[in-house]
Structure 1
Amino acid sequence: MLTSRRRPFPSPSISPRRTASRLTGALAVGAALTLAVTPISAAQSTAEAAGTITVSSLGSTIGAPGSSTGSLGPFGSLAAPAYAGYVALGDSYAALGDNTEPAGGPTGCARSLANYPHQLASNPAVGDLTDSTCGGAEVPDILTVTQVEGAPPQITTLEPDTDLVTLSIGGNDVGFGTIVGCITAHLQPGGPQQPIDCRTVQGATVSADIDDLYGEGGAVDVIYDEIAERSPDATVVATQYLPLMPAEDEDGCQFTAAIGAANLEWAREITQEINDAVDDAALRNGHVSVLPTSDTDRSGCAPVNERWVVFNDGSANNTAPFHPTALGQEAMAAAIAAAL
């Protein structure tokens, strides 16, 4: 999520996160590696909503973009629910938005009324929302673990008649927090004088973790199997991680310069790996994954009122550090609508 892709081209702490202070650290650090790039080979569609919408995993690995607004039509255009029961599963990139608009639920989950589940549910084509997302979530929190008091395993909120599911998971499991900690280590009090070569220190381990988590038979496949078992008729949309960093050097800023060119390039590559893996897992299981893109910079370097994400100070956008803004969540909701 460090790279914001332009139109020509198609997260928290790790564990155990069982206290509010641990979760706060997860929200502030882990999402910083939401570094994203959309797979260039993905099929595309466009929708009028805060930028160009890229929809991947539509079964095509080549060529010409198509134009579609999905079965929801232009956002908010249908009068009757096409998806009567919607369950949102996932981590902080699905849970958070504007922290001045809490959505209720367990305090430790930090759900916002501005998150993409709530914004998608405002579409008349979407019916009742069960928002099971929770900041800091990992795969076990989806499948087996009561993450915080009042937040049972997210998968248990699915019903046989659930007909729409969105899923954002994996960033914390593959170590967003660890990666961000490495990239920003020299910016911390008492840290090294120069940036660490994080590709050398962590690259092989992170890539292996991505393969294990999202690869065939991995933990993400187990989630898809459980969704199919509990809600066999549900349409499932996976969401990739919104970009933090601008794609082009000329759109950079103080933060991008501070982490160093080598770490920025590695972050972009790792983000590509993560989002490719999200996409591959969705496609393998018969679903889609989405990521909004824009003709203008929407990274943490963008003007306050144009950002889809923030860096280490989210106060101007009322959101947690290294997380999506309400505008970014709006763009993700529109991408999902376009895919449907």
Structure 2
Amino acid sequence: MLTTPRRRFAGSRTLTTSLALAASVALAGSPLASAQSTTQADGAIAVSSLGSSIDAPGSVTGPLGSLASPAYAEYVALGDSYAAFGNQTDPVVTDGPAARCGRSLTNYPNELDRNPAVVELTDVTCGGAIIPSLTGFQYDGVPAQLDALDADTDLITLSIGGNDVGFGEIVNCITKQDDYATVPSCREELDGEISAAIDSVFGAGTEGDVPVATKVDTIYALIEEKAPDATVVATQYLPLMPAEGEDCAFTERLVPDDVKWAREVTAKINAAVDAAVDAAAVRNGHVSVLPVDASVDRSACGDADERWTDFLGGAPTGAYPMHPTALGQQAMADAIAAAI
């Protein structure tokens, strides 16, 4: 099969090293596309919920929307680094084995907890988490995340699946230093593998013609067993890549078809998160959330004081590479508040 000739860009070693490091700390998922949702031009956040779009009220762009007080007595936050991390300069949990998780005191669970409607937060999120981390030990001394749930838990947020479907491989591929004229495109190299992983983690799994529970189905069933009365909010992955045609210096140095493929893959991942929650909602009223804002570019190509994610991290946003900024964490907290 013919492949599109590919170019090497100046400075690729620095860029690739930075992103490989980002992938090595398991960057929570594959936030490499702009979300599909109807949004308000005035900047109000629209919340993607169960496959449909709900325009959140204007107040959602302020601190934690319009949650009534009191509402939730015991909130447990589960998931990967997209939920765990805050800015590099913010305080993190440093006591005991959980210090390895990079659990920030300014991540979206903590931002949501600042609302008086949320009485008590138990944050067990952990950078690098995969689905088995929810039911087993991720690090020595760090319990399975689902152990934090009990019958009194009435609010749960969950960010999971990106690491399971191969975010690190996606990042490494689109920033690779090989001779681009002689190697396969990322689509050719990884699309089949990533698509199969998405189906395994989120999709309608089958063995032959027999439907089987996927990994996420099993997790939702366990959550419902441990916390039968809880409202469960699955958070999707905030965008890194801008909308098509809105590239910046970072994305212009990448191969256009690889960037396009990355957008497509992330659209699949976020759609799969939403569909999995939709199925769970039939049983227990779960909801899927992704804040979007059509008024400005919130991707990592946006202005530093407006973007919700960052490519390389550090100054001026203070974010970790390929992770949400403080604005992104606040936007997610606001969107959750609006959805519940």
- TM-score, L = length of structure 2: 0.81
Match of 2:200 in 1: 212
Q: CA deviation at 1:298?
A: 1.2
- Of 153, 160, 169 in structure 2, the residue corresponding to residue 178 of structure 1 is 169
Q: Of residues 192, 209, 222 in structure 1, which corresponds to 2:179?
A: 192
In the aligned structure 1, how far is the partner of 2:55 from the partner of 2:30?
A: 30
What is the SS of the residue equivalent to 1:262? helix
The answer to whether residue 160 in structure 2 is matched with residue 169 in structure 1 is: yes
State the alpha-carbon separation in 1 of the partners of residues 150 and 110 from structure 2: 19
One-letter amino acid of the structure 2 residue matched with residue 116 of structure 1:
Y
Q: 1:85 aligns with which of 56, 74, 95?
A: 74
The question of whether the paired residues in 2 share the 8 Å contact of 1:102 and 1:110 is answered with no
Amino acid at match of 1:80: S
In 1: Cα distance, 2:64 partner to 2:121 partner: 17
Query: Displacement, 1:153?
Result: 0.6
- How far off is 1:260 after superposition? 1.5
Task: Give the C-alpha shift of residue 100 in structure 1.
Answer: 1.8
**Displacement over 6 Å in runs of 4+:** none
Identity rate of aligned residues, in percent?
A: 52
Residue 30 of structure 2 is aligned with which of 33, 42, 61? 33
Which residue does the alignment assign to 1:226? 222
Q: Structure 2 counterpart of 1:57, which letter?
A: S
Contact 1:28 1:321 in 2 (8 A): no
| Structure 1 counterpart SS, 2:305 | helix
Structure 1: which amino acid aligns with 2:85? L
How do 1:1-340 and structure 2 match up within 5 A? 25-26=22-23, 30=27, 33-40=30-37, 51-58=43-50, 60=52, 75=64, 77=66, 80-104=69-93, 106-144=98-136, 146-186=137-177, 191-193=178-180, 197-216=185-204, 217-249=213-245, 251-286=246-281, 287-294=286-293, 295-340=295-340
- Offset at residue 198 of structure 1 (A): 0.2
CA distance in structure 1 between the partners assigned to 2:249 and 2:28 by the alignment? 19
Q: Please, which runs of 5 or more residues in structure 2 have no aligned partner?
A: 1-19, 205-212
The 8 Å contact of residues 31 and 177 in structure 1, kept in 2 or not, is answered as no
Q: CA deviation at 1:30?
A: 3.9
Letter aligned with residue 141 of structure 2 = G
Offset, 1:84: 0.7
1:174 Cα deviation after fit = 0.2
The CA RMSD measured in Å over matched residues stands at 2.7
The 1-side partners of 2:313 and 2:55 are apart by 38
Is 1:86–1:129's contact at 8 Å kept on the other side of the alignment? Answer: yes
1:221-263 deviations in Å (ceiling 9; x for gaps)? 11111110000000000000000011142x3112111111101
Secondary structure of 2:290's aligned partner: strand
Native 8 Å contact 1:39 1:275 kept in 2: no
- Residue 78 of structure 1 deviates from its aligned partner by 5.2
In structure 2, relative to structure 1, the CA distance for the partners of 1:142 and 1:31 (3 Å cut) is closer
Deviation at 1:27, TM superposition (A): 5.8
Provide the TM-score with structure 1 as the length reference: 0.81
Q: 1:122 to 1:24 in 2, by over 3 A?
A: farther
For residue 317 of structure 1, report the CA deviation from its aligned partner: 1.8
Q: Give the Cα–Cα distance (whole angstroms) in 2 for the partners of residues 266 and 120 of structure 1.
A: 33
User: What amino acid maps onto 1:52 in structure 2?
Assistant: A
In 1, distance between residues paired with 2:329 and 2:49? 20
CA contact (8 A) 2:111 2:333 kept: yes
Structure 1: any 5+ residue segments left out of the alignment? 1-22
| SS at 2:165 equivalent | coil
* 1:79-130 residue CA offsets vs partner (Å, 9 max, x unmatched): 7320110000000000011122223151211011221000011111111000
Cα distance in structure 2, aligned partners of 1:126 and 1:96:
20
CA deviation map 1:251-296 (0-9, x unaligned): 3112111111101110111011000000000010011111111120
Q: Based on CA coordinates, which of the two structures has the bigger radius of gyration? A: 2
Letter aligned with residue 161 of structure 1: D
Residues matched between the structures, number: 303
